[in-house]
């Protein structure tokens, strides 16, 4: 009787142990290791779920439950921007017929003009920075096209000019179309994106109006420039770029940007005023370069 009772107890314990073992999940060191490994960002894009508050495998959710406040997919993007251009002082000269002669000048800087344009670019896959994939870099290339207004107020003396004992006050209003190809490096953080780059291209500059008025002498108060002959010119363009992006959705971002723009030397020519120089005389104007500090704000969309 006691042997049967002991056998029953043994079978009962054995059955309970088997049921508990079947209900427990299998654990493996490999699964634990995989849970610590985030996706490699070199050549691999994180899914858009990261922008919707779902952390990818191995990711870390922030305070708001969003691992990254932006989409990190590679691909095309486009944007619009506008702002102001603060010109720098530049040098040049005007070559007038006799009796005025050569007049060098320094254009007044600090004049504010408008800027407006668009970008179309492609962002490539990048790499994580350090041990956290919340910080990483991505290269990009973009086509940059914008309108730039330029104003050049200047004043300079007329050398060897008995008809111009005082300075010649000159004013030009330029319209410039600039196109560059930019190479950028985007540095992503959980809060915002920093971008740096350089662009190279060309510009088309048109002088919409120009005047040159002596302050004294027989020609004092008269505009030395008549109708324009060559009032547009091409130029080489190069710019440095630095900015901050803040994403406001999976695909939309706003950005602030600073650029330093250089446009190389240009030449323009006008008919000289017949009242001063007689008929058929030409005035030439040369600007060594145009440089400007651009402060921009814009909206970007990633496809």
Q: Which residues contact 119 (CB under 8 A, 6 or more apart)?
A: 77, 78, 79, 81, 142, 143, 144, 145, 182, 298, 300
Q: Is the pLDDT assigned to residue 235 strictly greater than 50? A: yes
Q: Using an 8 Å Cβ cutoff, are 151 and 210 in contact? A: no
- Alpha-carbon distance 197 to 244, whole Å? 12
Q: Which residues contact 98 (CB under 8 A, 6 or more apart)?
A: 277
For 249-268, write each residue's pLDDT tens digit: 888 999 999 999 999 989 99
- Report CA dihedral (64, 65, 69, 72) to the nearest 10 degrees: 170
Q: Using an 8 Å Cβ cutoff, are 109 and 87 in contact? A: yes
Place of tokens 């670019």: 121
* pLDDT given for residue 134 in this prediction: 75
- Report CA dihedral (210, 216, 221, 226) to the nearest 10 degrees: -40
Average pLDDT over residues 129-156: 84
Q: Which domains does the chain have, with CATH numbers?
A: 74-302 (2.40.160.20)
For 158-185, write each residue's pLDDT tens digit: 544 555 666 788 888 889 999 999 999 9
Q: Is the pLDDT assigned to residue 137 strictly greater than 50? A: yes
Alpha helix locations (H) across the chain?
2-23, 29-35, 274-277
70 or 290, which is more confident: 290
Q: Which two tokens stand for residue 49?
A: 């779920």
DSSP string of 10-64? Answer: HHHHHHHHHHHHHHSPP--HHHHHHHTPPPP-SS-PPPGGGGGTPPPTT----TT
Q: What is the pTM of this model?
A: 0.74
């Amino acid at each position: 009787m006691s042997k049967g009772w002991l056998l029953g107890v043994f079978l009962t314990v054995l059955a309970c142990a088997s049921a508990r073992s079947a209900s427990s999940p299998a654990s493996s060191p490999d699964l634990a290791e995989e849970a610590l490994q985030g996706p490699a960002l070199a050549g691999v894009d994180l899914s858009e779920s990261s922008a919707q508050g779902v952390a990818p495998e191995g990711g870390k959710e922030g305070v708001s439950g969003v691992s990254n406040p932006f989409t990190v997919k590679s691909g095309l993007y486009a944007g619009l921007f506008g702002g102001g251009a603060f010109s720098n002082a530049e040098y040049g000269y005007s070559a007038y017929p006799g009796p005025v002669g050569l007049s060098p000048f320094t254009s007044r800087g600090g004049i504010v003009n408008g800027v407006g344009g668009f970008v179309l670019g492609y962002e490539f896959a990048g790499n994580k920075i350090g041990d956290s994939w919340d910080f990483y870099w991505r290269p990009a290339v973009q086509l940059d096209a914008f309108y730039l207004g330029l104003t050049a107020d200047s004043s300079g003396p007329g050398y060897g000019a008995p008809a111009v004992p005082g300075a010649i006050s000159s004013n030009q209003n330029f319209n410039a179309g600039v196109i560059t190809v930019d190479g950028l490096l985007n540095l992503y953080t959980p809060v915002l994106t920093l971008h740096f780059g350089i662009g190279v291209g060309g510009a088309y500059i048109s002088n919409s109006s120009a005047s040159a008025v002596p302050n004294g002498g027989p020609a004092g108060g008269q505009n030395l420039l008549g109708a324009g002959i060559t009032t547009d010119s091409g130029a080489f363009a190069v710019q440095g770029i630095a900015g901050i992006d803040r994403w406001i959705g999976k695909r939309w971002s706003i950005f602030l940007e600073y650029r330093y723009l250089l446009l190389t030397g240009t030449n323009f020519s006008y008919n000289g005023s017949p009242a001063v120089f007689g008929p058929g005389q030409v005035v030439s104007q040369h600007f060594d370069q145009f440089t400007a500090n651009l402060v921009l704000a814009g909206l970007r969309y990633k496809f």
